[in-house]
Amino acid sequence: MQRFAPAPTHQYDVAVIGAGPAGGCAAATLAAAGWRVALIERTALPRHRVCGEFLSPEAQATLRHLGLQDELAALKPRALTAATLTSRRGATLEMALPGVAWGLSRFALDAALAQAAVARGAELLAETTVTRVHHDDQGATLLLRRSDGEQHLRARAVLMAGGRRSTPKLPPAAPTRPREELFVGLKSHVTGLTMPDRVELFLFAGGYVGVNPVETGAANVCLLVSYAQFARAGRTLPAMFAAIAAQNAAFAHRMQEAHLLAETFCTVAAVDTHRPAAPWVEMACLGDTATMIPPLCGDGMAMALRSAELCAPLAHDYLRGACSLSAWRDRYCECWQAEFTGRLRLGRALQSLLNHPPLADALVASGRFVPRLADYVVRMTRGDQQAAPAQPDGNSTQRARIR
């Protein structure tokens, strides 16, 4: 068995694996508190990612608590105030959002959060892959692979925020469900659309697609589709868009003048929206690492950011000796389960319903004629816009901007 070098040359208080929304926020928050933070990202930044690129009012509340809202507001995100859901038969449910949301690309968001972390003192290690994590009584040793070879990194604490297929037992774990129950995610930016200030969702056999404007003036088109439907359409993004347009006339009308930007194409496969939750597996797991967040839970980015907001104060208290590792773990898992379990359950139920056209039509119709039902679903799949971070003990701060 390969052994780690006995004397790693790079020493940190915290290693954050993954520079997405959760990882970037956690790294910025802990670096601002004075800890030496390594933010490790396997790709170069900026880059496009499969994502709805929608920051809800709840997400903005977290960013405000973490002291990051102004930096992202400077990117001039597109203001969004409403959402629509259109079934295959053309029934449309219109919903007001509980506040002003932002349309902001991951290309801009992830890079801005990483830059914010660096500005607060973190070190960004881009194009660096973590191949092993070895824990001991004093922390962890990480084995890193870079273009110039391998190196070791030592950290007192590790946060895993590498996305839906990241696990501390690298390489990524296999899906937990059969292939026919898994999905493919696809995304492209398009130009040529005159979009109102809203998110538009369209249903089709085997999935759903969302369209919303972002800060560049383009629109983000992101979809989740079953393996079978993706294969039937021809296994390409343009062919998938054409297949959806053939089923949903409203989507066809929306995309009539669209021009796809090939440089923004992204695809992810083996998307398992029912993967069992694991907010701690030898280390704290943030965002989609803890579980794949169904898009219909309201806003996956808000949940990812909230997990960082819950975890950062607990990590801070552990590093300053105010709580043990086991107390950090227990409190984080307790807060994570209380925050997300019900929302995940409802989001998964909604996804299952909307993947069956007759049930989807009935759900849209019920929401149209009973507006309070639609409002209830929106509230139950979202968090508190004023939510405060987890409190591990009486000495914790009241905000995740740790002082």
What is the reported pLDDT for 300?
Answer: 82
Residues 6+ away with beta carbon under 8 Å from 312 = 25, 26, 29, 30, 66, 389, 400, 402
Report CA-CA distances (Å) from 223 to 46, 92, 265: 22, 18, 12
What is the reported pLDDT for 89?
Answer: 84
What is the reported pLDDT for 298?
Answer: 54
Residue 124 is assigned to a structural domain of this protein:
yes
Residue 259 is assigned to a structural domain of this protein:
no
pTM, two decimal places: 0.88
Helices marked H in 74-217: 106-119
Give me the CATH number covering residue 51: 3.50.50.60
Report CA-CA distances (Å) from 51 to 6, 45, 239, 386: 40, 16, 19, 24
Residue 255 is assigned to a structural domain of this protein:
no
Alpha carbons 305 and 113: distance in angstroms, whole number: 11
Written as six digits, the tokens of 287 are 């965002």
In 3-state terms, what secondary structure has residue 91? coil
Residue 114 is assigned to a structural domain of this protein:
yes
Q: What is the mean pLDDT of each run of 10 residues along the chain (403 residues)?
A: 42 97 98 98 95 92 95 97 89 87 97 98 96 93 94 96 67 62 92 95 90 97 93 94 96 96 92 83 92 68 94 98 98 95 79 68 62 50 50 40 56
The one-letter amino acid code at 42 reads R
CB contact at 8 A, 173 and 185:
no
What is the reported pLDDT for 343?
Answer: 80
Residue 368 is assigned to a structural domain of this protein:
no
Say how many domains are in the chain: 1
Residue 333 is assigned to a structural domain of this protein:
yes
**62: domain range?**
10-80+97-175+275-353
Residue 318 is assigned to a structural domain of this protein:
yes
Residue 382 is assigned to a structural domain of this protein:
no
